[in-house]
Structure 1
Amino acid sequence: MTRGTTARWTPADIPDLSGRIALVTGGNRGLGLETAATLASRGAEVVIACRNASAATEALSVLKARAPMAQVAAMDLDLTRLSSVRDFTRAFTARHGRLDILVNNAGVFGINQGLTEDGFELHFGTNHLGHFAMTLGLMESLARSPAPRIVAVTSMMARQGKIDFDNLDRRKGKYSKWQAYSDSKLANVLFAGELQRRMDRAGIPGTAVLAHPGYAATNSPFGGSSMTPTPLEVMLLVIGSAFSQSPAMGAQPTLMGATWPDAKPGMVFGPGRMGGMRGSPVADGQRIPTDTETAAKLWAISEELTGARFPA
């Protein structure tokens, strides 16, 4: 991703979000909690979606302490279960109707081989298919917003990703949790690009962008991630933690992507220093780098696997 030329951006640049409804998946900890807290502090009505009820309760306490006047709520969502995704989208639509800001933040990171309830490889099923089905289930709510914004939180590791359509469940060959994670983050990139094209064709004035946190503290097992590290990985992560930035800084690219008035469809937001590893966020003026043929094929297969459809 090439570095942008925008002036230094900080959360103080976020406009008043009063009257806006925002949804942050995985908003109960780490980058998601920082994102939700800042959006709430700027006046947005914020819903955090997570699968751990006790963690959600704790997160709401944090949000209310940091933004006492804000409207905040938690809803149950387990991205590893399509039945939970469907229940969530129905409940959200019934409760809110409109959605202005969607932050697809939740995900699993570097976990050992396993399957979701529906039989998908855990990284691909959670990070991509769960968000794919949820976003399509919320499209009518997004379409009711005058200018909906969708932020897909990806990773620099998407650069190493490859979509192997003959091995999406990764049952063939030796399993690599890092390759599986990278592939799922590339799927986020492809999904965002294809979503934008379909919104454009449908006349929905939505803006789909990408954000990545660089190397933030929550990218390690010490920051509450879902990673299950080997001893060697623990050692490397301890060394790497010296170069990491705080969750608050890691959330800034997402916040910029979600609220920057000058954001254009397909922009990529990430830290501006150390090759995108840390620093204040910048915007890449180029569109999402995507293979449209691969993106369309991934979309079709994702529809088949999840049963989700872009609404007519």
Structure 2
Amino acid sequence: MYLIWDGAKDLAGNVLHLRTRFVTNKRLDGQVVVITGANTGIGRETALQLTSLGAKVIMGCRDLNRAGSAADYIKANNKNAVLSVIQLDLSSLESVREFAKKVSETESRIDILINNAGIAGIPEQRTTDGFEMHFGTNHLGHFLLTLLLLPLLRSAPKARVVSVSSSFYLVGKIHFDNINLSDGAYTNWKAYNQSKLANVLFSRELAKRLGANSTISTYSLHPGVIKTDIGRNYRPYVVKGVYNMIGRLLFLTPRMGAQTSLYCALEDSIENKSGFYYQDCKRFELSPIAMDDTVAERLWDLSVDLVNLEEHLNLPSS
């Protein structure tokens, strides 16, 4: 019921143009930002805005052709943009490790990591490593990437990890007894919701394990209901013309959808408020399932095992 009410308010805010636009005078000259899935949608718009503030942006993208087009778009809108494109397939742990290695070879620090990439609504599939595709891509790929890049994040004076989740975490459940939703348990919504809850739990648990005195702050967020490519797998259920009309009326543009990502990456007032969840550039209270420390710790330990994380990269529970 809460999800329905939350979604109704979300759409009403879109229609009535009540969404918050984040404004800052901050400069990011000399800072390094890594954004996954920066080739389209809110990832591309986030990259554009951060380059406009002077940051060097590393775009981690699976499709290099689309990434190249996105880089051209950003440079057309900001001729001074400093960009780097490195291939990153979050559904392959080998690709995640290779990406982190390449970034580590060229950069001495990372100031902002935005775990933006995501998939939704696909038919049942497995990642290269055999995991359910939503869980493997949306959660495990970003889990491993963040921990591999942690040394570079620690090298920055202050760093932030921003994870793009969804309000659908509210109806998510971590299916520990069947994490890959095998043997007929799979539905695309169940898989997506599980992965988005995992994003929130990971962000909270990361903040907890880093500790109150860490120079790294973590945030998760719901970007809003946005007309982007992530919804392409749901379009067969809706007549194309109707979908486009609904999209124009009810959905945010990618630029407006990027505002909460920018807020979490840049807002000074939340610098030391780590582990919280944001929506429309405001902090929102999490549901009980997302506040369950036992579930968060269990998910962390499971993720460590599934990605075969090196012992020295793991963070002990506080």
TM-score when scaled to structure 2?
Answer: 0.86
The gaps in structure 1 that reach 5 residues or longer are 219-223, 272-280
Give me the whole-angstrom Cα distance separating, in 1, the residues matched to 2:263 and 2:86. 24
Residue of structure 2 equivalent to 1:270: 279
Give me the whole-angstrom Cα distance separating, in 1, the residues matched to 2:186 and 2:82. 43
Q: Is the 8 A contact 2:304 2:314 kept in 1?
A: no
How many Å apart are 1:308 and its aligned residue?
2.1
Deviations 1:244-287 (A, max 9, x none): 1111001101110110011121232212xxxxxxxxx3233779
Residue of structure 1 equivalent to 2:147: 136
Give me the whole-angstrom Cα distance separating, in 1, the residues matched to 2:308 and 2:41. 31
How many Å apart are 1:229 and its aligned residue?
3.0
Give me the whole-angstrom Cα distance separating, in 2, the residues matched to 1:298 and 1:240. 37
Which residues in structure 2 correspond to 1:292-311 (within 5 Å)?
Answer: 292-309=293-310, 310-311=313-314
From 80, 83, 93, the counterpart of 1:69: 80
Residue of structure 1 equivalent to 2:267: 260
Residue of structure 1 equivalent to 2:233: 228
Q: Is the 8 A contact 1:140 1:311 kept in 2?
A: no
Q: Secondary structure at the match of 1:106?
A: coil
Give me the whole-angstrom Cα distance separating, in 2, the residues matched to 1:78 and 1:52. 8
Give yes or no for the alignment of 1:283 onto 2:283: yes
Q: Is the 8 A contact 2:22 2:260 kept in 1?
A: no
Which residues in structure 2 correspond to 1:160-175 (within 5 Å)?
Answer: 160-175=171-186
Give me the whole-angstrom Cα distance separating, in 2, the residues matched to 1:143 and 1:103. 15
Residue 73 to residue 237, structure 1, CA distance change in 2 (3 Å): same
Give yes or no for the alignment of 1:97 onto 2:108: yes
Q: For residue 133 of structure 2, what is the amino acid of its counterpart?
A: L
Residue of structure 1 equivalent to 2:119: 108
How many Å apart are 1:51 and its aligned residue?
1.0
Q: How many residues align structurally?
A: 293
Q: For residue 233 of structure 2, what is the amino acid of its counterpart?
A: T
Q: For residue 254 of structure 1, what is the amino acid of its counterpart?
A: S
Residue of structure 2 equivalent to 1:251: 258
Residue of structure 2 equivalent to 1:88: 99
Give me the whole-angstrom Cα distance separating, in 2, the residues matched to 1:247 and 1:126. 21
How many Å apart are 1:182 and its aligned residue?
0.6
How many Å apart are 1:73 and its aligned residue?
1.0
Give me the whole-angstrom Cα distance separating, in 1, the residues matched to 2:25 and 2:134. 32
How many Å apart are 1:211 and its aligned residue?
1.6
Q: For residue 17 of structure 1, what is the amino acid of its counterpart?
A: L
Q: Secondary structure at the match of 1:49?
A: strand
Greater shift, 51-60 or 239-248, is seen at 239-248
Q: For residue 292 of structure 1, what is the amino acid of its counterpart?
A: D
Q: For residue 192 of structure 1, what is the amino acid of its counterpart?
A: S
How many Å apart are 1:239 and its aligned residue?
6.1
Residue of structure 2 equivalent to 1:207: 217
Give the structure with the higher percent helix: 2
Give me the whole-angstrom Cα distance separating, in 2, the residues matched to 1:286 and 1:171. 29
Q: For residue 217 of structure 1, what is the amino acid of its counterpart?
A: K
Deviations 1:135-184 (A, max 9, x none): 11101001111111000100011111000101111103342101100110
Give me the whole-angstrom Cα distance separating, in 1, the residues matched to 2:239 and 2:132. 24
Give me the whole-angstrom Cα distance separating, in 2, the residues matched to 1:160 and 1:138. 30
The gaps in structure 2 that reach 5 residues or longer are 10-18
Give me the whole-angstrom Cα distance separating, in 1, the residues matched to 2:61 and 2:22. 24
Residue 11 to residue 68, structure 1, CA distance change in 2 (3 Å): farther
Residue of structure 2 equivalent to 1:275: none
Give yes or no for the alignment of 1:39 onto 2:46: no
Give me the whole-angstrom Cα distance separating, in 1, the residues matched to 2:196 and 2:130. 19
Greater shift, 173-182 or 122-131, is seen at 173-182
Residue 213 to residue 182, structure 1, CA distance change in 2 (3 Å): same
Q: For residue 299 of structure 1, what is the amino acid of its counterpart?
A: W
TM-score when scaled to structure 1?
Answer: 0.87
Residue identity over aligned pairs, in percent, reads: 37
Q: For residue 46 of structure 2, what is the amino acid of its counterpart?
A: T
Q: Is the 8 A contact 1:111 1:226 kept in 2?
A: no
Residue 226 to residue 120, structure 1, CA distance change in 2 (3 Å): farther
Q: For residue 189 of structure 1, what is the amino acid of its counterpart?
A: V
